[in-house]
Amino acid sequence: MSKQSTPIELTQRQIDYLDQMAEKYGLLDRDKAVRCLINFACEESQEESRIFEEIRCLDC
């Protein structure tokens, strides 16, 4: 499956977190960290409502 580039808006805190996780787990870059998060959400369908229904506004 080929990858496509798509822009997303993130806060600096979110970017820093992705960079930290990439470094901690030996990932190539923050893009890979995002793909890991998305893959987890796709594979763990029983967690879908927990991921997407609960409102988490850490930057409000």
Is residue 42, in this structure, part of any structural domain at all?
yes
Give residue 55's pLDDT band: very low, low, confident or very high (50, 70, 90). confident
Question: In this predicted structure, what is the pLDDT of residue 14?
Answer: 95
Distance CA 35, CA 14 (A): 14
The verdict on residue 22 lying in a domain is yes
Q: Quick check: is 3 in a domain? A: no
Looking at the 3D structure of the chain, how many domains does it have? Answer: 1
Question: Does the residue 35 lie in any domain?
Answer: yes
Using the predicted structure, report yes or no on whether residue 57 has a pLDDT greater than 90: no
DSSP structural state of residue 54: S
**13: its two tokens:** 């805190």
Q: What DSSP state is assigned to residue 47?
A: G
Is residue 1 in some structural domain? no
Q: Which domain holds residue 27?
A: 12-52
Instruction: Kindly tell me if the per-residue pLDDT of 22 is higher than 80.
Output: yes
17 CB-contact burial (10 Å; exposed 0-12 / middle 13-18 / buried 19+): middle
